[in-house]
Amino acid sequence: MTKYLTRRLIQVIPTLLFIYTITFALSYLMPGDPIRAQLGEEYYRLPPETIAAMEESLGLNRPFFVQYLDFVTRMVRLDLGKSYIQKEEVSNIIGYRLPRTLQLMAGGMFVSLIIGIPAGVISALKQYSWIDHLLMVLALIGLSMPVFWQGLIAQLLFTQSKTGIALFPVAGYGDGNPIYMILPSLVLGTSLSATIARVTRSSMLEVRGQDYLRTARAKGLTPRLVLVRHHLRNALIPVVTVIGLQVAGLMTGSLLTETIFNWPGLGRAIVPAIQTRDTPVIMGILMYGALTFIVINLLTDLLYAIVDPRIRYA
Amino acid sequence: MFKKGFAFFVILFLVALPLVAVAQNEPVILRYPITTDPEQLNPFISDTIAVGTVTRNIFESLTAYNAATGEIEPALAESWDIGEDDQGRQVYTFKIRPGVLFHQIDGVTYGEGEREVTADVVLWNYLTALNGDENVSIRAGELDVISGAKAFTEGTAEEVEGLKVLDKYTLQITLDAPDRLFLINGMVSITSPVAYEQLGEDINNKAVGTGPFQFVEWLRQDRLVLEANPDYWKPGVPKVDGIRFINFGDANTALLAYRENEIDFLFSFPDGQRAAVISEFADDFNEKPGLHVRYWGFNMNNGFFAENPLVRKAFSHALDRETAWTILAEGARFPANLGMLPPSFPASTPATTYPYDLQRAAELLDEAGFPATGAPLIASIEDVEQCWGAREGMPEVQIHLLEAISGEPQVVLWQEALTCLGVKVTFKVEDGGTYWDSIVKDDAMIFTNGWAAGLVDPSDVFDFLILEGRGSMRYNNPEVNELLRQARVELDEDARNQLYQKVHDIVMEDAVVIPSAYSKVAWLQKPWIQDFVPGGGGTYTAPLWNVSVNADLKP
């Protein structure tokens, strides 16, 4: 296990470097620069010497490889630099926002699990019944609805006294008040729950005919024990894989959810950063995003061993 | 029974009393939606609308411009004299208001007497603004009218000849040439040198001024909070306990929050919902003419349009402003039927205008040497009796558009009209970074921009868009430049307006720009908000320190 973990952790370094290089190259190739993007028409009010000095001070006039090496060297030292626009350390920006994005993702994941797994199990147990059809149609609707649309509908239904019931605040973080988190988590989790429900259902159906289930029943275990200990547990392996893969979906979904619900996470920071070509912020957020994705995938792999004791890592 | 009932009411009263007291002492906070966070709060570095929305409540200058009345009012200077020195140069002598204190915020500790604004402090602010290092200030160019300022900025002088401290509360500023707008454009937001030094780079994220509100906290893309300055020099101001600027990335979300009374104002209406929103909140709706002009510009630096004035005129005649703005955009703006200046400006009626007239546009294209040939580019267009065939020799025209305004009806309407005239048109929709890059590199032959004047003064438009090729059009006409230079130093109002009228006539005759629309300053405010009075420059110009809240009207 330790060997496996060490190997996986070492693999993180080239993976991150690869992502960093590609992202930096794309960021460099994007037309425009932060000075023009920020100043707009005001650009012409400044003397050319001032503009040149600004480019010099941000290092924008240096060749690609010099800028790239500068960024990589700083990243190795865990120095993410300073935002071109906000003049604030990128580590501070991420330090404040990453926990909030993770909080939203965790909320979304929680919602998806408590909706998706029971729905999948019920569907499988009641295969071809009206309830199975209903749940699968709902899952299809959940999969088909874009997150931003779900967000708007949820706001209309649950925050507006005129068009629904004003149960939750419209938007915001509310200084960490949990009530502000409920609606964005529901929206974020609904799409994912649809996928989880469908995978759980098909996996449950696949496992249903296995010999060990017949044996479990034959030895007199209660149906509930058979379901939880043998049926569901074995059906969960592909579900765990899907959950791991869906983390990327959660991250991109959180970008839209954050915008609709005014949630102060990474998504709300990266969009203006891209618009203003604020490369240090773009690079910093993407690196943390990539790292989060890699770590969660690693945890997912480790989780296999818990779900299925036959799996051993060496 | 009676005793029990009495006791019940006594207990109820005792329980309710502190609750009532709490309700009465609850701070009155303005909940103000914003769509963009300020880039940062350093007054020497940036002066965008997003920054100004917040910082005008924190910083003060020697004078204050009242956007609603157009008057210049005393601020940190309680009075000033304008005279001449022995060389005939214009000299301003400012008497600084004694006893004005800088904000006391976390992270700043003042020594004895360091909190007060004095002439030395104001001098330090001017010298910092004139610093040639662009990391310190980008405002030096705006102040180069001060005698000796250029030499100081360039590093060839250690002092600014035109800035003199006469005593603790008197500062004298001498100008190289008369500047009638110096009391507006020559003003610097005064910050504390002590705070500037102690906060270091954090000065970009915290602001220390003398204004009616002081900084509390800022969480980007979330909220920025100010509280009333307890030491503010003007009695009875501000009238609320604080302001909470709430960033709404999405106009729909802001509308929903407004509907649920979570914010006190609404400044941007979701696309396509303007009429519905106005109808729903008819009692809350306010509107006044604005000072912003939306225009299509031609690149005059080089290329096809620089060489073909008749084609520019033809394109100008092809824009149906009335249909675009009054009908399709639900009256979001006034159609710009005059010229580059909104109607409230002097010299706003140029001799030449370009009303929508496709027949005339077609004649101009013929005259320019691009005759129509063959079949029309499109079969038919509604409301147009005749369309013309593809034009011989006419290149395909690419028009650059900012993504944010690409959905405006004027875009489709103009494209239809130009296509009908036989001109093949494509629109290139770009985000801010790419768009400005295309313009700066002269890649954009036609583009659409807007300009928001801060003052009802032609110089606030022409000096930025027309003078010496400064604007995106790169229009550099020596005759116009000379007229604008004369107008800048002309102190007689009528003579000055005549000069601006000539400029306007020439620019419109040259057809370097197609004025499309003049803005409306429109907003919703809750019934309990009182004395919110913005100027034509936009809702951000409203002095929030005068705004009060009638708690009786709050739900």
CB-closest option in B256, B430, B438 to A160:
B256
Please provide the average confidence, as pLDDT, over all residues in chain A: 86
Phi, psi of B401 (to 5 degrees): -135, 140
Q: Where are the beta strands (DSSP E) in B395-530?
A: 397-402, 425-430, 446-452, 513-525, 529-530
Domains in chain A, ordered, with CATH?
2-76 (no CATH), 96-307 (1.10.3720.10)
What element of type H or E holds B274? helix B274-280
Evaluate whether A127 touches A202 at the Cβ level (below 8 Å). no
Whether domain B25-57+211-264+526-555 has CATH 3.30.230.70: the reply is: no
Interface of A with B in 159-198 (CB under 8 A): 159-162, 166, 169-173
Measure the CA–CA gap between B468 and B346, rounded to whole angstroms.
Answer: 22
**How many residues are present in chain B?**
555
The SS3 call for residue B57 is coil
CB-closest option in B204, B253, B437 to A36:
B437
CB contact under 8 A, B248 and A262: yes
CB contact under 8 A, B204 and A88: yes
pLDDT at position B12 is 46
CB-closest option in A38, A54, A170 to B262:
A170
Class of domain B289-520: alpha beta
Chain B CB contacts of A37 below 8 Å: 432-433, 436
Question: A181: which 2 tokens?
Answer: 């988190």
The pLDDT confidence band at residue A176, using thresholds 50, 70 and 90, is confident
Measure the CA–CA gap between B453 and B458, rounded to whole angstroms.
Answer: 9
Measure the CA–CA gap between A284 and A97, rounded to whole angstroms.
Answer: 12
- Rounded to a whole number of angstroms, the distance from the CA of B291 to the nearest CA of chain A is 16
Measure the CA–CA gap between A156 and A226, rounded to whole angstroms.
Answer: 43
Domain limits, chain B: 25-57+211-264+526-555, 59-194, 289-520
- Rounded to a whole number of angstroms, the distance from the CA of A54 to the nearest CA of chain B is 6
| Per-position DSSP letters for B92-148, written without gaps between them | EEEEEPTT-B----TT----TTTTB--HHHHHHHHHHHT-S-TTT-S-GGGGTTBTT
pLDDT at position B20 is 43
Give B93's strand partners. B81, B172
Tell me how many degrees the CA angle A174-A175-A176 measures, rounded to the nearest 5: 90
The pLDDT confidence band at residue A90, using thresholds 50, 70 and 90, is very high
| B297: nearest Cα among B477, B471, B481 | B471
Phi, psi of B344 (to 5 degrees): -75, -10
Evaluate whether B48 touches B39 at the Cβ level (below 8 Å). yes
* C-alpha radius of gyration, chain A, whole number: 24
| Strand arrangement, sheet containing B242-247 | B29-34, B242-247, B223-228, B213-219
| Per-position DSSP letters for A269-296, written without gaps between them | HHHHHHHTT-HHHHHHHHHHHHHHHHHH
CB contact under 8 A, A171 and B40: no
Measure the CA–CA gap between B504 and B484, rounded to whole angstroms.
Answer: 10
Evaluate whether B528 touches B551 at the Cβ level (below 8 Å). yes
Evaluate whether B213 touches B227 at the Cβ level (below 8 Å). yes
Chain A CB contacts of B40 below 8 Å: 85-88
Range A152-174 burial, b when 16+ CB lie within 10 A, else e: bebbeebbbeeeeeeebbbbbbe
Of the listed ranges A109-113, A253-257, B38-42, B317-321, the one predicted with least confidence: A253-257
Rounded (10°) angle between helices A90-125 and A179-207? 40
> Any idea of the CA torsion for B327, B328, B333, B337, to the nearest 10 degrees?
-60
**Burial classification of residue B323, based on how many CB atoms lie within 10 Å of its CB (0-12 exposed, 13-18 middle, 19 or more buried):** middle
* C-alpha radius of gyration, chain B, whole number: 27
- Rounded to a whole number of angstroms, the distance from the CA of A244 to the nearest CA of chain B is 29
Measure the CA–CA gap between A76 and A94, rounded to whole angstroms.
Answer: 17
The pLDDT confidence band at residue A78, using thresholds 50, 70 and 90, is confident
Measure the CA–CA gap between A50 and B45, rounded to whole angstroms.
Answer: 12
Question: B179: which 2 tokens?
Answer: 């500047």
pLDDT at position B375 is 66
| B295: nearest Cα among B113, B143, B514 | B514
Cis amide linkage into residue B270, ω under 30° from 0: no
Phi, psi of B190 (to 5 degrees): -90, 120
**Burial classification of residue A73, based on how many CB atoms lie within 10 Å of its CB (0-12 exposed, 13-18 middle, 19 or more buried):** exposed
Show the DSSP H helices in B168-273 as ranges: 182-185, 193-199, 251-259
Q: Where are the beta strands (DSSP E) in B267-420?
A: 285-298, 333-335, 372-376, 389-391, 397-402
- Among B222, B245, B248, B447, the residue to mutate for chain A (most A Cβ within 10 A): B222
Q: Where are the beta strands (DSSP E) in A145-188?
A: none
Residue with tokens 């030449």: B352
pLDDT at position B377 is 63
The pLDDT confidence band at residue A2, using thresholds 50, 70 and 90, is confident
| B427: nearest Cα among B448, B394, B398, B396 | B398
pLDDT at position B133 is 86
> Any idea of the CA torsion for B62, B494, B450, B443, to the nearest 10 degrees?
-110
Residue A227 DSSP symbol: I
What element of type H or E holds A225? helix A223-225
Measure the CA–CA gap between A199 and A238, rounded to whole angstroms.
Answer: 7
Per-residue pLDDT reduced to its tens digit, A259-282:
889 898 998 888 888 888 899 999
pLDDT at position B376 is 64
**Which CATH architecture group holds B59-194?**
Alpha-Beta Complex (3.90)
Does position A17 have pLDDT exceeding 70, yes or no? yes
Number of Cβ within 10 Å of residue B230's Cβ equals: 9
pLDDT at position B2 is 44
Per-residue pLDDT reduced to its tens digit, A115-171:
999 999 999 989 899 999 998 888 888 888 888 889 989 999 999 988 889 999 999
pLDDT at position B10 is 47
Measure the CA–CA gap between B102 and B117, rounded to whole angstroms.
Answer: 7
Measure the CA–CA gap between B119 and B165, rounded to whole angstroms.
Answer: 6
Give B519's strand partners. B333
Chain A CB contacts of B257 below 8 Å: 170-171
Q: Can you give the pLDDT of all 555 residues of chain B as single tens digits?
A: 445 544 544 454 444 444 444 445 689 999 999 988 888 899 898 778 889 999 999 999 999 998 778 889 999 999 999 999 999 899 999 999 999 999 999 989 999 999 999 999 999 999 999 998 888 998 888 899 999 999 999 999 999 999 999 999 999 999 998 888 899 989 999 999 999 999 998 898 999 999 999 999 998 888 999 999 999 999 999 999 999 999 988 889 999 999 999 999 999 988 778 889 999 999 999 999 999 999 999 999 878 999 999 999 999 999 999 999 999 998 999 999 999 999 999 999 999 999 999 999 999 999 999 998 866 666 555 544 578 888 999 999 999 998 888 889 999 999 999 998 999 999 999 888 788 888 888 888 999 988 888 888 999 899 889 998 888 899 999 999 999 999 988 889 999 999 999 999 999 999 999 999 999 999 999 999 999 999 888 899 999 999 999 988 888
| B188: nearest Cα among B71, B102, B75, B40 | B75
CB contact under 8 A, A86 and B222: no
Interface of A with B in 250-289 (CB under 8 A): 258-262, 264, 268-269, 271-272, 274-277
Interface of A with B in 24-83 (CB under 8 A): 30-34, 36-47, 50, 53-54, 57
